[in-house]
Structure 1
C-alpha cells in the first residue's frame, strides 16, 4: 500500500492529484520496457484426406534426421546411465571417512550425481528418498542448492522448522540466494512469523530486481496481514485518548455555540455565585472575579505543559481538583464553569475531566455536561459509551437538537444509515431552522458520494446562517466533485469576498486550483493562507510541501515546509505522513519510520491505524534490508520514490 492509496481513503483529493503523474508514468514505463511474449507458431492443419493417406515408406526406411550413428549414441547413453546408477548407489553407501578420502573434484562430481537423482525422486514426489539423496550429496560437498532442494522436500512434508533451518544454511553460504529467501519466507508465513516472512520477501524482491510478480504480491499480502494484526493489538491494549487539538477544535466549531442556561432553574433558582454578584452590584468586583478565575485555571498547570500527544498526567488532574477545593469550589456548577473555560482555552483533556466531575456532582447544566463528555468520548473512538451519554442527555432535554445530529453521525459511521436518517428527521421536527442539521447531513451525503443532495444541504445551511466559513468551502468542493466546476469556483470566489481574512478559504481554493494543474496559482493561494494563519493552521505548509515535492521536484524545500507545519501542529496526521514520504524518497528510512510511528499513536480507528501501519511496515522491511545488505542500499532509492 502506498501513501497515495492511504490518502485516497482519507479523501485528500489534492494529494492524490499531485501523486497521479508519478504513478501513471511508472505504469507506462513498465509496459514499454517489458518485452512481449512471442506467440507460439501455429501448427499447420492436416486435411482429412492426408490424414488417412498411406505412407510409401518401406520398413527399412528411417524417419528424417535419424541415422545408424544416432542409434548407437542412444545405446551408449543407456550404458552410461546404467553405469552412473550403479555409481550413485555405491556413493549412497559411502561413509564420512571414505568421502573425505576422495579428491575434491571427485567429491563434487559425486554430489552432483546424487543431487540429480534427488531431483528425479522429488519430481516423482518421493520426498523421503529425495531428502536422503540431498543429505548424502551435502556430505560429499556442502552446496547451498542442496540445502534449498532439501528444504523444498521438507516444505512439501509440512516440516517448516526444517525448511527454515535448511534455508538458513543455504543463505549463510549465499546471502543473495533468491530461491532460498522465497522458500524461507513461505515457511515463516506458515509458522505465523509474518514479519520475518515479509522481510525475506522484500529482500528477494529487491535482489531479484522486481522480476517476480508473485513475490511482489506476497509482500502486499504480508503487509496487510502484519498491519491488521498489529492494529488490532494496539487498539485492544492502548489507553483511549483524544485526537489532536486542531481536530477537536474543528469538530466543535462545526456546531454553533450554545447559550448556556441553568437547566434546573425552572423555579427561578440561581447559582450561589450569581446571587453574590447580584447583591454586590459591583461591576468592577465582578470583573476582578473573572480575572481571578482565569488566573486560578492558568496556575493549575503553570509548570506542567501538556505534551505533544495531548496527554495529561494524573498529577496534573489531581492538581486541578486540589485547586478547586482550595477555592471552596465544591459544587457541580463550579466544575461545569471550569470545564467551559477550559474548552475556550482548548485544554480539552482537562475540560473532559471537569465535565465528568460536574456530572458526578450533579450540576445544573447536566444535559450540556453529558453532551460534552459524550462528544469527547466519541472523539476518543468510544462510540458506544458516547451514545450512552447522549441518551441520558436526551432524557433530561428531549429537544436537544445537537444530540440528534451527533447520534446520526455515529450511526452513519457504524453503517446504520436508516437510524442516521431518522435522527436527522427527528432533529428537523424539533427545529427545522437549525443550521447545524443541514451542514452535518450534507457531510453525510458528501461522504456517501451523493453530491447532488450534499449541495442542497450546504445551500440550506448558508440560507439559515451565512457566517459559517466551512459551509462555503464544503459547498464549493461538493459542486466541484459533482462536475459543476464553474459553480464550485464561483462559490469559492463568493467565500473569499465574504471572508477575506480566512486562511482556510485561501487554502482550500488553492487545493482546487492544484487539482486543475494550475500550480502557480495554487501556490499563491497557499502563500496567502500561510500568511493569514495564526500559528494554528498547518495545512497550507503541507500543501506547499507537496507541490515542491511532486511538481517542482525539490524535496529539500518540501521537507523544510513539512517541518514548519509540524511546528504549528505536531500531531497533524497528514503532515507526519507526508514528511515520512519525503524522507523515504531521500533515503532517510529511520527518520521516516519515526514520523509514521508518531502518527500511529493518535490514529482514531482501527482502519486508519491499519493503513498507516502498512506503510510503516514497508519502511521497516526496507530498513531491515539495508542492515542485512548494506552494499545494496542504493537500490532503496527507487523503492521509496
Structure 2
C-alpha cells in the first residue's frame, strides 16, 4: 500500500506539535468549566475591563466633564470638589490623575493619587475599588516592589475574584519571589476565565510549569529509586549499535569467551538484565590486572548504569575507559558515544558534541558515531545536521534498515522545514524503497505512519501502524502512537485508551504509555486518575528531562483541581480518587 497524498498538501497540512503540558491543560477546559461555567455565566454581572483609559469611566462614571474640575499646575494635579455628585466621581478623578502620572513614568506620584482614589472610594463600589487597587499594583510593579504588588492584587481579587489582570499581575509577582505553585494557580485561573484564548497568559503558564517541573524533578531525582527498563527496550537499545565491542562478543559463536566473562555475557543473552551490573562488579573486583576484558566489563556495566538512569556511576565507568591510554580505540569510541548520550540527558548538549568529535578523531569510519549524533541533532531540532549525519551513517552501514529509514524521516523533516516539495517527494519515495529493502523493519512502518499523521493522512497512518505491530508485536510504543492517532483522527478516546492499555499489558514499564494515558484522563476530566498515572510514569523516568516533563503534566492537573475549587467550578462526576 502506498500513499497517494501530494507533497504540496503535506506542506499545507503539517501541524506543529502541541506542547504536552498545554494539551493537558487545554483539553480539560470543557470538563473543568462544565455546568460550573454555565452557572457562573448566568449568575454574575459582567466584570469591568480594568485599565487606565476611558473604558471604566464610560461604564461606571456617569458624571460629565463639566461636573469635574481637574487642573494641572506645573507638575501637580489639583482636583477640586466642586460639582461632584458622589464620592465615586471624586475617586475616579483621583484615578485619572494617577493614570496620567503612570503614563508619564512617574510611578511614585501615580501611587499617591491611587492612594487618594482608594481612600475616597467606598466598599459600596467593589468593582471600582478593585480597579484602583489593581492600578496601584501596576505602579508598584514598575518599582519592583513585589510585596506591595501581591498585597494590592490580593485586595483587588477579594473584591472581584475573577479579575484576570489582577490574577496575571499577582502571578508575575509570585514568580519573582519564587512562589511558583501559587503563581501557577493564579495564571491557570486566568487561563480558564479567558477560555485559553490569551497567548500572554498561556506563555506565562508554560514558563511557570517548566520552572516548577525542574524544581520538582531535582527534588524527586535526589531520592528516586532506579528502575531498569523493560527487556524489549534494552534489547532494542543494544541492537541499535552496529560496532559495539560487547555485542560482538555476544553474537560470537566461534570465539572462546574467557570464563570470568562468560557468566556476564550469558546473563545478557538470557535477558537477565537486572543482574548484569552485579555480575560485572564481581568480576571486576576479582580481576587484578588492567586487561582488555576488565575494560569491557567496565563498558558493559557503564552501559547498564546508563540504562538504569544512574548517570554518575555510568560516567565513572565510561571515564575510566576514555581516559586510559592503553585502552583500544573500539572501546573508547563506544564509551564516548554513550557518554555523549548522557550529556544530552543531563541537558549539556555542548559536551555531547565534544564527545562525538573526539570519537570521530579516533575512528572516522564508525557509523555508530554519526547515527547517534544524528539522533541528538534531531532531538535538538538541528534538522540539516541530523540529515547529514544520517546520510553518513547509511553510507557506513547500508544494510541497516533502522538507520536508512531514520535518514528518510530526517529528509522529510528537512524538506517540510524548507517547504520544499521536491525534497518531500524524494523522502516519500525513499520510504517506499525502505519497504522493499527492509520489509521486516518495524521502524520503517512506524516512521512512515508518523509522517502521514503530520500530513493528516490518518487512515493510511493507521494502516502502517498496524503493519509495524505485525513486524514487532511486543513493541508497546507502537500501540501508544496508534492510540494517539485515534485522538487526532476522530477524537475516539475509547479506542485510544484500548491501544494504550494494550501497550501497558505488553510492557508494564512503558513510561510513555502511563504519561499518555494520564493526558487522556485529563481530557476526560479524571484529573486525580491522571495524577496517579503521572506518578507511575515518574517512577519509570530515567532522566531529569523526562521527569521534568512529567512533573509539568502532573502540576498542570493538580493546579486545575485547586483552581476549579477556588472558582467554584465543578469537576467531572466520574473522577477517581488518588490511591
The interval holding the TM-score normalised by the smaller chain is: 0.5 to 0.7
Shift of 1:559: 1.5
CA drift at 1:614? 3.5
Once the two structures are superposed, what CA deviation does each residue of 1:51-76 show, in whole Å capped at 9, x if it has no partner?
xxxxxxxxxxxxxxxxxxxxxx9988
Alpha-carbon distance in 2 for matches of 1:84, 1:440: 76
**Superposed, which structure 2 residues align to 1:400-549 within 5 Å?**
400-411=329-340, 413=344, 414-416=349-351, 417=353, 419-427=355-363, 436=368, 439-440=371-372, 443=375, 448-449=382-383, 450=385, 451-462=387-398, 466=399, 468-478=400-410, 480-481=412-413, 483=423, 484-497=426-439, 499=440, 503-515=442-454, 517-534=456-473, 536-549=474-487
Distance 1:159 1:151, change over 3 A: farther
Tell me, in whole angstroms, the C-alpha distance in 2 between the residues paired with 1:578 and 1:146. 45
Q: Are the equivalent residues in 2 in contact too, given 1:205–1:215 (CA < 8 A)?
A: yes
How far did 1:167 drift? 4.2
The correspondence for 1:197, drawn from 159, 183, 186, is: 183
Give the Cα–Cα distance (whole angstroms) in 1 for the partners of residues 355 and 170 of structure 2.
50
1:590 matched to 2:528? The reply is: yes
In the alignment, is residue 146 of structure 1 matched against residue 129 of structure 2?
yes
Task: Answer yes or no: is 1:554 the counterpart of 2:492.
Answer: yes
Aligned residues: 468
Q: Distance in 2 between matches of 1:190 and 1:459?
A: 52
Match of 1:85 among 74, 81, 85: 81
Equivalent residue in structure 2 for 1:623, among 561, 571, 574? 561
Matches within 5 A, 1:8-23: 20=16
- Structure 1 CA distance for aligned equivalents of residues 377 and 91 of structure 2: 66
Tell me which of 281, 301, 307 is aligned to 1:356. 281
C-alpha offsets along residues 134-184 of structure 1, whole Å, 9 cap, x if unaligned? 24644x647354255236436644664455455445434543233443343
Shift of 1:573: 4.0
TM-score when scaled to structure 2? 0.67
- C-alpha change, 1:127 and 1:422, in structure 2 (3 Å) is closer
| Structure 2 spans left out of the alignment, 5+ residues | 1-9, 24-63, 71-77, 102-108, 415-422, 573-579
Cα deviation for residue 117 of structure 1 reads: 5.2
1:373 and 1:425 mapped to 2: Cα distance?
A: 25
- Does 1:565 find its partner at 2:503? yes
Alignment CA distance shift 1:246-1:397 (3 Å):
farther
Q: Give structure 1 stretches of 5+ with no counterpart.
A: 1-13, 27-72, 89-108, 262-267, 272-332, 635-641
Structure ID, larger Rg: 1
- Whose RCO is larger (CA < 8 A, sep 6+)? 2
Is 1:208 aligned to residue 194 of structure 2? yes
- Distance, in Å, in 1 between the alignment partners of 2:152 and 2:454 is 54
Cα deviations across residues 600-632 of structure 1 (Å, max 9, x unaligned)? 444444444444444443333323222223437
Alignment counterpart, residue 241 of structure 2, candidates 239, 255, 278: 255
Q: 2:173 aligns with which of 148, 172, 187?
A: 187
Match of 1:343 among 264, 268, 280: 268
Contact 2:531 2:554 in 1 (8 A): yes
Residue in 2 aligned with 1:176?
162
TM-score (norm 1): 0.61
8 Å Cα contact 2:129-2:159 kept in structure 1: no
| RMSD of aligned residue pairs (Cα, Å) | 4.3
Matched, 1:370 2:312: no
Distance 2:263 2:145 in 1: 65
Q: Secondary structure at the match of 2:363?
A: helix
1:224 matches 2:166: no
**1:356: Cα distance to partner?**
1.9
Cα pair distance change 1:438/1:156, threshold 3 Å: closer
CA distance in 2, matches of 1:437, 1:166: 58
* Shift in alpha-carbon separation, 1:128–1:338, aligned structure 2, 3 A: farther
